[in-house]
Structure 1
Amino acid sequence: MSGPNPPGAARQPACSRCGRTAPPGAGPFCPYCGRYLATLVWVAEPPPSARRPVRTSPRPPYGGPPRYAFVPRWGFPPGPWRTSTPPAPPSALLRARVALSRLVPLLWITAAVALVAAGAETWRYFLLLASRTDALSTTAVRWSDGLVRTAGWASVAAFVPCGLVLVTWSLHALQAAGDRTATRPSRSPLTVVLGWLVPGPNLSVPGSLLAEIEHAGLDRSPDERPRPSRLVLLWWAVWALGVVLGVLTLLWSLRTGAQARADGVVLHALVDLTAVATAVLTLKVTRRLTALLAPPTGERREILVAVRPPAEPAPA
């Protein structure tokens, strides 16, 4: 007979088949029935072929670097990433400055193209004068016609984007003027656009619009009537002259005859020269008005105007 297990000896587990307890040191198998004494846990796993593949959404194609219509005013914080409030939308003054930065090169291009067109029309007029007494060279006539056509189409290609950006600048500048004086613009955006484009109203609306922007930029009372400066008045007069000459040239082109064509060449040259002057004055006016709409810095500057000698005392 076997005695009790000595102290500290590991007790063998009971056999799950015969129910007997194996003596110490019997090994992992039951000495009575031969069954494996360790507890087994069977886990059933499906084969790899029966697993459902994980579907991943296709990666979108690369669309290029991000684009911003304005210079971003935000930046990444100098530390770990953390959520922050979204940046405020750009102000009307910032939009006006962005539009001005795009308008300046377009105005220079428009002035250059209009100057070339005026020179081409002037050359054609001198050829018409010379044709009354002498025969013209075929080469000169071809070059003149080609230069007039090229300059004409180039003028149209320059005027259209320049006009669109100018109207956009006026909308933003008018809104910035209202923000500066804490007032609501007297004209809606649709009224401003129609005032630039519709013949008749475009003789008065653009000039009065610039006068209102200048009035707000000079911090004058909104109740007072705008008094445009000499620069704005000069721009207004040249702009109105260009509109009138453009309509007159369009109507004159409907006439027939040699004299009507000669007069049409002169009118085209005048329209082109007026366009040059309008582009240059527009550049000066838009720059000045955008600078006036800038917020005040609060600094006072003293400017020496004149030096007068002290008054001599009157003789006794």
Structure 2
Amino acid sequence: MVAPAPRRPGPSPCPRCGRTAPPGSGAFCPWCGRYLAALEWVATTPGGQASSPPQRRDRYTGPPRYRAVPRWGLPVGPWRAPAASDDEPLLPVHRARALAAQLVPVLWVTVVMSLVAAVAESWRYGLLLLSRTDALSADAVGWSDALVWFGGWSSVVAAVAAGVLTISWSLWAHRAAADRAGARAWRSRRRIVAGWVVPGWNLVAPGSLLAETEHAALELPPGRRPSPSRELLVWWALWAACVLLAVVALLWRLRTGTQALADGVVLHLWADVLAAVTAWRTVRVVRLLTALLEPRAQGPRELLVSRQAANPDAVRAERAEPAPAGPPAAPTAAPDPAEPSRG
């Protein structure tokens, strides 16, 4: 509440005795002493001013109208942060890490789709075995064909997407490893891409490329021959087997005959299983090499070292405070107990 404010000026009759005070008699009644000014109490919020009456809003009349077509507007396309002139380009290690973050989910999708394709091929092979002794249901055959079609094409699309991202990641990972080792990347971009896609060459080139990347990321001597780790050797063997089996499965489709079709189903089944395993091992290799390019600090470590000494006096001597640095003092003879001290 705020202090009362007078409502209207001028003399007014006293509300207690009803008499009108003469002009100039003051704010109190000269006969009964009551306060004569009329009061108006205004309630306000603590620490604030009196609330003003709400303003009346006009009725909505629709969107604004212009006499001519406005010249202003937003640019076409998504919003992009303006690139400053002093911004430094991204380092190869940052590009490799960003591509690895996109590649790993796509590889997991490849694993799932390859397993779906393997299940579809196994179902089809089971139907082939049943068809030797009994007639098959049209619904079962239809669902089997649909699942084979979906699993086959989805696994192919996922594998192609994963392959494109893998090649891009290997390009920047190779350059980042060379920068980390303080050397120059001797493989060009065309050579790296050709090593992934050229038939025959893609059996050995990807493994040697990742072996060099691992060698440089570990900061080993550049003149020393790279020695791949066990994780990389396992991936290399799976990669070569997957490529060879995929080529054999494609060439097998050219054969005709009932037995050739049944063998082709089994071949596609093992090709899908091997593709899923290879994609899973690729996830591990990508994570391993990306972590080697720029290992993250894990914080300080506390290492407790215990030592047992054979002589306890040696331990006490080591725990004693060291003597202050200075020139060695001359040796003095021990005082004789029989000789009186000189004060």
Q: Deviations over 1:96-146 (max 9, x none)?
A: 011001101101111100000000001101111111111111111111011
Aligned to 2:276: 276
SS at match of 1:227: coil
Aligned to 1:215: 215
Distance 1:300 1:204, change over 3 A: farther
Q: Deviations over 1:73-99 (max 9, x none)?
A: x9xxxxxxxxx8611000000000110
Aligned to 1:225: 225
What letter is aligned with 2:225?
R
Aligned to 2:76: 63
Task: Figure out how many residues of one structure are paired with residues of the other and give that number.
Answer: 242
1:284-299 alignment to 2 at 5 Å? 284-294=284-294
Aligned to 1:88: 88
Q: Which segment drifts farther, 215-224 or 59-68?
A: 59-68
Distance (Å, rounded) in 1 between the aligned partners of 2:206 and 2:302: 35
1:302, distance to aligned residue in structure 2 (A)? 7.3
What letter is aligned with 2:153?
W
Distance 1:299 1:63, change over 3 A: same
Distance (Å, rounded) in 2 between the aligned partners of 1:109 and 1:296: 27
Q: Deviations over 1:147-176 (max 9, x none)?
A: 101111111221111111110000000010
**RMSD, aligned CA:** 2.8
1:234-273 alignment to 2 at 5 Å? 234-273=234-273
What letter is aligned with 1:124?
R
Distance (Å, rounded) in 2 between the aligned partners of 1:303 and 1:230: 29
Normalized against structure 2, the TM-score is what? 0.65
What letter is aligned with 2:184?
R
Aligned to 1:28: none
1:181, distance to aligned residue in structure 2 (A)? 1.2
1:66, distance to aligned residue in structure 2 (A)? 2.8
Distance 1:188 1:180, change over 3 A: same
2:191 matches 1:191: yes
1:296, distance to aligned residue in structure 2 (A)? 7.8
Q: Deviations over 1:238-277 (max 9, x none)?
A: 0000000011111111100011111110111111001110
Aligned to 1:111: 111
Q: Deviations over 1:186-222 (max 9, x none)?
A: 2111111111111101100111111111111111111
Distance (Å, rounded) in 2 between the aligned partners of 1:159 and 1:206: 16
Q: Is the 8 A contact 2:246 2:271 kept in 1?
A: yes
Distance (Å, rounded) in 2 between the aligned partners of 1:201 and 1:258: 34
Runs of 4+ with >2 A deviation: 57-68, 295-304, 307-310
Aligned to 1:173: 173
Unpaired runs of at least 5, structure 2: 1-69, 311-343
Distance (Å, rounded) in 2 between the aligned partners of 1:308 and 1:297: 26
Aligned to 1:41: none
What letter is aligned with 1:154?
S
Q: Is the 8 A contact 2:178 2:217 kept in 1?
A: no
1:63, distance to aligned residue in structure 2 (A)? 2.5
Q: Which segment drifts farther, 176-185 or 111-120?
A: 176-185
What letter is aligned with 2:266?
V
Distance 1:302 1:230, change over 3 A: farther
Distance 1:197 1:147, change over 3 A: same
Aligned to 2:37: none
1:60, distance to aligned residue in structure 2 (A)? 5.9
1:25-44 alignment to 2 at 5 Å? none
Distance 1:94 1:122, change over 3 A: same
Aligned to 1:45: none
Distance (Å, rounded) in 2 between the aligned partners of 1:144 and 1:309: 69
Aligned to 1:148: 148
Q: Deviations over 1:42-79 (max 9, x none)?
A: xxxxxxxxxxxxxxx944653354337xxx9x9xxxxx
